[in-house]
Each structure stands twice: as C-alpha cells, then as structure tokens.
C-alpha cells in the first residue's frame, strides 16, 4: 500500500532532479512553439525521425547510427563512473580522467551526430576539416598526457588500436581509393576502419572504467562490510 508520507518525502527528495531535467525540455519545446507561432516553420521537421521526413528505407545510415551509439556509450560510462568517484579523494585523479575523457568524447559524439566538422565548421565558418580534426586530436592527446599515470595502469593497447584505426580511416578519407570492377569501395574502407576504431575505443573505456571504479566500490578483505 502506498504511504502518502513516503510518497511526499520521495517527491521532496526529487525536487533538485526535477529542476535539472525538466526545464531544458520545457525550454526546447517552448522555443519551438514560439518559432512555430512567429514563422511558418513546421515543428515536425525537428520532432520527426529523419527516415520518416525523407521517407527513406530503415537501413539508411544504420552504420553511422551504430557509431553514434558507441560514442554515446563510452561517454556515458565515463561520466557515470566519474559521478561515482567524484567524492572519493583517493580516486580523485582517475575520476578526473574519466570526467575529461567523457566530456571530450561527448564533443566528438555531437560533432559526428550533427556533422559539425562539415556542415558548420567547414561549409559555414570556412574552417578546414583537417584543422578541426587536428584540434580534436591535440585535445585528447593532452588529456592522455595529463593523466598518463592512470592510462598506463589500464589496458591501453585497445586505445592504441583505436587511434590506429581512426588514422587508417582518415587515410582512406584523404585518398581516392581506386574503383574495383567499376564499384566504389572507399566508403567501406573508410567507415569500416572508423567502426573498428569506435569498437576498440568503447571497449577500452568500458574496461578502464570498470578497472578504476571496482576498487572504490567493492569492499576489500579488511574493509567493514554491511552485516
């Protein structure tokens, strides 16, 4: 039976969460309603699935969407594990590594999802794509150097493989792969290498996050355990 006092206590405890999660949604749809009212904009263009908008087959962009899911998975794992460790002074350095890694991965995810390096930076702001990719590379390299002690204690071979596959993907993006039997295989080479990199990348951060958080969450033999 639902206890009204328990329900009210739970509601009070969730007020900070409500104030975090609901206002952004209300702001988005409030702005959309204002835009629809003041212009001829059709809100369906933002709320509908792209496949429905263009009446495209369900397999269109499937591999690209899989890549976005992998970006999201690694970013979420890093940020969630940071939240678990943020108040533990013993694990401050690994927690910061997970935080900055999660933030950088989130930037990469948003760039890949909205094609910012092509549609915004290159086509609108006239910033070369190679420069944007270089900035991302330097940003993450700086993160690895700053937290090299943490990285060296993890299974970083997966991370090296990820960088190798990403580099191979860029290589195929920059060169024109010769057609074989009149068919273009460049997308297979480029996106295949990228997906291999993303799989390695996600596997690394899953394993690293588990390796970092497990000692902080699992009581050792000498720790006090609940009776």
HSE toward the beta carbon, residue 211, CA cutoff 13 A: 16
Residue of 213, 207, 179 lying closest to 84 (CA atoms): 213
pLDDT at residue number 110: 96
Domain borders along the chain are 20-60, 61-217
- CA-CA distances (angstroms) from residue 127 to 131, 133, 138, 175, 213? 7, 11, 16, 20, 39
CB 192 within 8 A of CB 171: no
What is the full per-residue pLDDT of the chain (227 aa) written as tens digits?
567 888 889 999 999 999 999 999 999 999 999 999 999 999 998 999 988 888 899 999 999 999 999 999 999 999 999 999 998 888 999 999 999 999 999 999 999 999 998 889 988 999 998 899 899 999 999 999 999 999 999 999 999 999 999 999 988 877 766 555 556 778 888 999 999 999 999 999 999 999 999 988 766 554 443 33
User: What would the DSSP string read from start to end of 15-41?
Assistant: HHHHHHHHHHHHHHHHHHHHHHHHS--
**What confidence tens digit (pLDDT) does each residue in 71-89 have?**
999 999 999 999 999 988 8
pLDDT at residue number 54: 86
pLDDT at residue number 170: 85
pTM reported for the whole predicted model: 0.86
Structure tokens at 103: 């933030």
Instruction: Read off the DSSP letter of residue 179.
Output: P
pLDDT at residue number 192: 94
Structure tokens at 43: 């809100």
């Amino acid at each position: 039976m639902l206890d009204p006092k328990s329900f009210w206590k739970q509601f009070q405890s969730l007020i900070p969460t409500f104030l975090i999660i609901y206002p952004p949604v209300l702001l988005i749809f409030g702005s959309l309603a204002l835009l629809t009212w003041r212009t001829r904009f059709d809100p369906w263009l933002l709320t509908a699935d792209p496949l429905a908008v263009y009446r495209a087959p369900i397999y269109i962009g499937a591999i690209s969407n899989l890549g976005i899911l992998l970006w999201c998975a690694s970013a979420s794992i890093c940020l969630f594990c940071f939240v678990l460790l943020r108040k533990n002074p013993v694990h401050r350095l690994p927690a910061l590594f997970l935080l900055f890694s999660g933030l950088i991965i989130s930037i990469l995810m948003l760039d890949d999802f909205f094609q910012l390096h092509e549609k915004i930076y290159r086509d609108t702001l006239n910033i070369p794509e190679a420069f944007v990719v270089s900035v991302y590379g330097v940003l993450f390299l700086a993160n690895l150097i700053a937290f090299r002690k943490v990285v060296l204690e993890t299974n970083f071979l997966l991370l090296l493989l990820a960088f190798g596959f990403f580099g191979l993907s860029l290589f195929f993006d920059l060169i024109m792969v010769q057609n074989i039997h009149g068919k273009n295989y460049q997308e297979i080479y480029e996106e295949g290498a990228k997906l291999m990199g993303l799989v390695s990348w996600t596997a690394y951060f899953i394993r690293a996050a588990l390796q970092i958080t497990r000692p902080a969450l699992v009581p050792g033999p000498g720790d006090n355990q609940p009776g």
